[in-house]
Amino acid sequence: MTPVELSRTVLHAVRRAVDEGELAVAVLPERVVVAPPGPGGCGDYATNVALQLARPAGQPAPALAELLRTRLLRTDGISDVVVTGPGFLNISLDGDADGRLVRDILRAGLRYGHSDTLAGQTVELHAAHDARAVVLMDAVARVLRSQGARPRLTCAGPPEDAWVRILGVPSDIPAGTGTGTGTGTDAPLRPVPAPVDPTPLGRDAARWALLHPAPHDRPHIGDSQSEQHLVQRETNPLFRVRYAHARTHALLRNAADLGFTSEPGPLTPEGDGPLTSDGDGPLTPEGDGSLTFDGDGPLTPEGDSPVTFDGDGPLTPEGDGPLTFDGDGPLTPEGDGPLTADGDAQGLIQLLADHPRVLAATAAHRAPDRLARHLVAVADALAPLLPSVLPLGDEKPSAAHRARLALAEAAGTVLAGGLSLLGIDAPEHL
């Protein structure tokens, strides 16, 4: 159950309570916000809907929360609901919810998160005659189509030939004023222009440089940070996203060589503890000794030598030491807590579940930067999972390995689909 589906489920419980006379509210909320629990909370998601409805319903929030709790417990996919604090509902999804999410992603493929929410709507988009504005409009149109809308594009002038050839914008955008009769007419798209011509960066780097910053922010092109869009290291967020995607395909190839495929399920073998770092090497199943990088580990391209980034990048297994991002990146097990299986993997799972909401918000706000930042978050959350996907040494592939491979494959699918909507290539080899 994704956050969007859970929000609808909670709202349905509220409406049923009203219809059956258990709750008297004149105006129902249009949507219910669900989010990971805060301090003092528990479960997978929490919502303050009872606090929101308490005053108009004339009931104490805890009593209203208990009423909704009873209804939610009857819902398939929800294993437990706990009321905490002044009336927060803390919802736990059933044990196979994560597996169902992964299956849904793999079944939908690159269309995961697409919907027909905006079906039947014609949305007019008009861009200034500027490279960034036209690229922004193209990306917004792609996301709008993913939500069922029919965008109609116009530009203050015909797109330049270089924008079409290098930046990949449509060649048939007509010149116009953007004052048509679409059902969702927008104000013209006028992001802060790029200070210099972005085309020397090439299509992928240029589009990312133009789309990753919010439209009101100045893109880093032509300044001291311009070359960061091209470097192949962790300081470049586009590289992190594309590298994470390429690693998922490398893992699938390596798994095929070992004779197993992905299968959604529990990420840890039954009876095993969480994967932790014991200070001697990252990813240590409790009681089983260190997992080290001896040249046979999973972080190797095509099963060859260990991955390095000029000797000091994020994926640098040097013998059997911990995996780091120079002290401040997402891959930093420093002997101080659980990693991946039941801990960090949940953060990745929540990000994957949130992808449909991110696409809807990107379409609603005409803000591809939201999608770009989401992809960076997915890539960074995926990185700690990668070392635990493949079996090491004489270890045999287990159900947990197949489940981790499926989760990695699902994350790679989301990354590829998101990059496609931004008009950026997602290579399988990098």
Tokens of 129: 């005659």
Tokens of 61: 């929030």
Q: Is the pLDDT of residue 184 over 80?
A: no
Q: Is the pLDDT of residue 227 over 80?
A: no
* Closest among 280, 267, 303 to 389, alpha carbons compared: 267
**Tens of pLDDT along 91-102?**
988 767 788 889
**Tens of pLDDT along 367-411?**
999 999 999 999 999 999 999 999 998 889 999 999 999 999 999
pLDDT band of residue 237 (cuts 50, 70, 90) is very high
**Tens of pLDDT along 92-147?**
887 677 888 899 999 999 999 999 989 999 999 999 999 999 999 999 999 999 99
pLDDT of 318: 39
pLDDT of 267: 81
Residues contacting 26, CB < 8 A, separation 6+: 56
pLDDT above 90: percentage of residues in the chain: 56
Number of H helices, E strands in the chain: 11, 7
Distance between CA atoms of residues 427 and 415, nearest Å: 11
Mean pLDDT over 12-18 rounds to: 90
Query: Which string of DSSP letters, residue by residue, matches 388-409?
Result: GTS--TTPPP-HHHHHHHHHHH
**Tens of pLDDT along 280-333?**
333 334 334 333 333 344 433 344 434 333 333 334 333 334 333 333 333 333
The whole-chain average pLDDT of the chain stands at: 81
pLDDT of 275: 39
- 290 compared with 29, residue with greater pLDDT: 29
pLDDT of 167: 96
pLDDT of 322: 38
Q: Is the pLDDT of residue 235 over 60?
A: yes
With respect to CATH, is domain 3-93 assigned 3.30.1360.70? yes
Residue 326: alpha-carbon gap to chain centroid:
24
Q: Is the pLDDT of residue 1 over 80?
A: no
pLDDT band of residue 181 (cuts 50, 70, 90) is very low
Residues contacting 429, CB < 8 A, separation 6+: 246, 249, 250
- Single-letter amino acid, residue 139: A
By CB atoms closer than 10 A (0-12, 13-18, 19+), residue 1 is: buried
pLDDT of 315: 40
- 415 compared with 59, residue with greater pLDDT: 415
pLDDT of 207: 97
End-to-end CA distance of the chain: give it in Å, rounded.
Answer: 33
Extents of the domains making up the chain: 3-93, 237-421
| Stated pTM of the model | 0.68
Q: Is the pLDDT of residue 424 over 60?
A: yes
pLDDT of 226: 67
